[in-house]
Structure 1
Amino acid sequence: MSHVFTDTVIMFQRCARHTLRSRDTLIISLLMPVLVMMLFTYVFGGAIDVGGPYLDYVVPGIMLLCTGFGSSITATSVSTDMTKGSIDRFRTLPMFRQAVLAGHVVEGVVRNLAAIGIAVAAALVLGYRPHAGPAAWLSALAVIALFVVAISWIAVGLGLLAKNPEAAGGLTYAIMFIPYISSAFVQTTTMPGWLRGFAEYQPATPVVETVRGLLNSTGTGEDNAALAVSWCFALTIVGFACASVIFSRLSRR
């Protein structure tokens, strides 16, 4: 069992080095959520009534958006390894076969959490004032981390499925688009009925409502927490299973 952990750590370090060397990609992934947050706050925020400061409302949505942006990088990195033959070389080594996939997931989680931390810090500078205590912050972080893990595994599966890195990035557009059709940026009650049903019952809404309730003490967190955690575990299982099946089939070729 120890070699599984060791191999995963080695693959994580490899993925982290590749990300750090691609400075333009790293900068975009870390700063784009901040720019989107400023766009919504200062351009659209004045026209959106959420019953309070719009910045307080939108920050949890930006956290989910960070995950969407990060999924594109993860999927592209996995596809690059596949198309350049890196994974074929790893298969010849005496190592845990899934370590390369797990390494991409861990790197994606660390990078996404870093982007979320930068976005929250920028929000505090802009005037975001959450009312959460240490326990609520830790709970919100745990929910976000579960969501990041789930999306990272799905991104790995999409990266394996894509024919090339460009296609991998395109496949993740759906992930990046999901937070927009939720309560991340506007209240679902403002949406038309046919769209409201999807927005209220898709995974992003209970996650963002849980985080918002915990950080802003709005009371919505307790109502959505169980559903949010259930969605995160379900997506993680689906993402891991699909990635493992695709990887095994590709390994037999």
Structure 2
Amino acid sequence: MSTRNRTVTDTFTLLRRNLRHTIRYPSMTIGSVFGPVIMLLLFVGVLGKTLGRGLATASGAHASDYIGYIAPGIIITAVASGSMATAVAVCVDMTEGIVDRFRTMPISRVAILAAHVINSVLTTVVSTGSVIAVAILLGFRPHASVGQWLAAGGLLLALSIALTWLAVAMGLVSATPEAASNSPMLIVFLPFVGSAFAPASSMPAGVRQFAEYQPFTPAIESVRALLTGGPVGHHATLALGWCLVLGATGYAWAVAAFAKPRAH
């Protein structure tokens, strides 16, 4: 069997293992999937009228359009939230000794990490799908063509893979699962200091510049434009550039951390 075929086989074997763990211990996964849905219900059902009036004042949009504005932001938040469960799962494997056992077996080293990445991406797909379904029930009406849906899905997939590799690296360098659960908090928090819930132009100076140039705002604006039929502009290029930078950084960091002997 060639090295490439062995890597693919090992990846899917370990993916089945990770999926079984996800089913048997679903608490983190449930939080990743339903947390963004609860957030959507809160911002639309409880705070929607007030925030919608604020959006109308800031951008000239109608107050009832807030669901169309916030739904793409919550979708991106769902992608970011999946990183926490990934970091914890990787750290648990590293601290419980199973990875040390894997190292003594003829298993592809990349497959051990890639299985976690694929498992996380599958969970993120379920999470974002749940957010979109609930948003439509709440009144979100996308005006996207099939091509725009595919483009939005491709961007979300690229962002999910990039953030997952970062989360894998954070899990590898964390001393305990508790520390691993805290490491990705910056990733989860960043969409809130972007254009997910309010236009960056409405923010104070300093915060506005940070919101405009941080990684999540171009992704949010791209998905928002694609799903609502607006102009994407340069946001898609910036978003894909950030995905490439974050993904390459996370992958290099994860591979280096995995190769380094872990202190016990």
For the aligned pair, the TM-score class normalised by the smaller chain equals over 0.9
Once residues 14 and 90 of structure 1 are traced to their aligned partners in structure 2, the CA distance between those partners, rounded to angstroms, is 13
- CA deviation vs aligned residue, 1:94-134 (integer Å, no higher than 9, x gap): 01112111110010001011110011011111111000011
Would the aligned equivalents of 2:79 and 2:156 in 1 still touch at CA under 8 Å? no
Give the aligned partner of residue 240 of structure 1: 251
Give the aligned partner of residue 240 of structure 2: 229
1:129 alignment partner AA:
R
1:47 aligns with 2:58: no
Gaps of at least 5 residues in structure 2 are 56-60
Aligned sequence identity (%): 38
Give the aligned partner of residue 135 of structure 2: 123
Moved more, 85-94 or 61-70: 61-70
* Residue number among 149, 171, 194 corresponding to 1:159 in the alignment: 171
Q: What is the TM-score of this pair, normalised by structure 2?
A: 0.92
Give the aligned partner of residue 58 of structure 2: none
- The structural deviation recorded for 1:158 is 0.3
- The structural deviation recorded for 1:252 is 9.7
Give the aligned partner of residue 77 of structure 1: 89
1:105 aligns with 2:117: yes
Note closer, same or farther for the CA distance 1:252–1:24 as it changes in structure 2 (3 Å cut): closer
Gaps of at least 5 residues in structure 1 are none
- CA deviation vs aligned residue, 1:174-212 (integer Å, no higher than 9, x gap): 111011010011101111111111110011000010011
- The structural deviation recorded for 1:223 is 2.5
- The structural deviation recorded for 1:57 is 0.7
Within 5 A, what are the aligned runs for 1:1-253?
Answer: 1-48=4-51, 49-50=54-55, 51-52=61-62, 53-219=65-231, 221-250=232-261
2:256 alignment partner AA:
V
Q: What is the TM-score of this pair, normalised by structure 1?
A: 0.96
Once residues 63 and 7 of structure 1 are traced to their aligned partners in structure 2, the CA distance between those partners, rounded to angstroms, is 31
2:160 alignment partner AA:
V
2:172 alignment partner AA:
L
Moved more, 21-30 or 82-91: 21-30
- The structural deviation recorded for 1:45 is 2.4
1:83 alignment partner AA:
T
1:133 alignment partner AA:
S
1:212 alignment partner AA:
R
- The structural deviation recorded for 1:83 is 0.6
Once residues 49 and 185 of structure 2 are traced to their aligned partners in structure 1, the CA distance between those partners, rounded to angstroms, is 27
Moved more, 13-22 or 74-83: 13-22
1:211 alignment partner AA:
V
Aligned length: 252
- CA deviation vs aligned residue, 1:143-198 (integer Å, no higher than 9, x gap): 00000000000000000010000000011111110110100111011111111111
